Amino acid sequence: KKSRAGGGSGFVGRELTRLLTNKGHEVTVISRQPGPGKITWGELESSGLPACEGAVNLAGENLMNPFRWWNESYKKDLFSSRIDTTKTLARAIAASSQSSSLLGPGIGSCYKPSLTAQYTEDSEWTPFDLLSKLVNEWEASALLPEDVAKTTKQVVVRPGVVLGRDGGAMKQMLLPFWLGLGGTLGSGNQPFPWIHVSDLAGIIAHALEPPADTPSTSPQVFNGVAPALNTNYEFTKELGRVMRRPTIFPVPGFVVNTLLGAERGMVLTQGQKVVPESTQESGFQYKYLDLTSALKEIVGS
Ligand code: NDP
């Protein structure tokens, strides 16, 4: 079977490509750069979607890009890199005659941070800040026209913080923790919705098959988080324990907000209790259900 993955060269995309290839699928990456096994977004626009059974978009300017100032041009790129690519892919699917599955993106941060509320895929939400506005526009850009949606399975996956050795938050955290400089962020009481990258790739692969059996005009949503509900304090202490390093330097919320900008800092200093109810009801089996097993695999002890 053939799949196309926008952003397939990234942290999550590489894991998904490995998983699908191991399952015997052929994967083509849609990228800004041409190369072997790739097509560019321009080629997708001019030549259409090559024959395939599924298409996923994981492209997006990194939210925590350490090389960019948090300014209007960066924020604009966060939106356009996700929304324009998703629109391009959705248009290509609509124009092709094959019935394939479209995996839209999303982020758990569409749910309003709270210490108590629990959110499932069915929870109502309305945009309340920059990132939830981004998710709202992003998910809307993945919607297919009604006639196409009748034969195409549409899925939205909303990941939490993706944990893995080769990218995302862990890549930036391992050095300070190894140096003994790790600590809780903000109060530490805030929920820390996380998922191991291998499980996120697993959820995406699971959503891609079986093919369009019961297509519906509204997309199916899967929360891409582990079912364990942990706080930032629990995550910090467990990472320190697994790495055998002290975690005695809490970073106050205002420092995080000053360094990252308040709109972005809240991803770390606040959090949501996200429950993967539909993901589990759909029969997906997690490999990493608890922080200890996920962190041990990543740290390699
Ligand atoms: P990466 O930062 O690894 O980037 C993925 C790919 O996006 C890159 O390889 C690149 O592909 C493409 N890309 C980067 N910048 C741009 C741009 N300005 N315009 C167009 N394309 C661009 O992302 P992840 O794999 O970590 O995440 C995948 C998706 O999941 C993202 O959309 C992210 O928002 C979302 N997500 C990730 C989380 C995480 O913790 N990692 C948490 C929640 C959601 P190329 O260079 O080939 O064009």
Distance separating alpha carbons of residues 269 and 113, to the nearest angstrom: 10
In this prediction, residue 209 carries a pLDDT of: 75
- Check pocket membership of 81 for ligand 1, CB cut-off 6 A: yes
Q: Facing residues of 39 across strands?
A: 30
List, for residues 123-180, the tens digit of each pLDDT value. 999 999 999 999 999 999 988 888 888 888 889 999 999 999 999 999 889 999 999 9
Q: Which helix (H) or strand (E) holds 250?
A: none
For the CA of 65, the nearest atom of ligand 1: 2
Domain ranges of the chain: 2-299
> Domain 2-299 carries which CATH code?
3.40.50.720
- The list of the chain residues with pLDDT below 70 reads 97-108, 210-215, 301
Please tell me the pTM assigned to this model. Answer: 0.95
Closest CA to 249 of 167, 185, 200, 165: 185
In this prediction, residue 51 carries a pLDDT of: 87
Complex ipTM more than 0.90, yes or no: yes
In this prediction, residue 213 carries a pLDDT of: 56
In this prediction, residue 165 carries a pLDDT of: 94
* Token output for 228: 């364990």
Distance of CA 88 to the CA centre of its chain: 19
Coil, strand or helix at 22: helix
- Check pocket membership of 85 for ligand 1, CB cut-off 6 A: yes
Where b means 16+ CB within 10 Å and e means fewer, 35-59 reads: eeebbebeebeeeebeebbbbbbbb
Residue closest via CA to ligand 1's atom 19 equals: 81
* Token output for 188: 């530490």
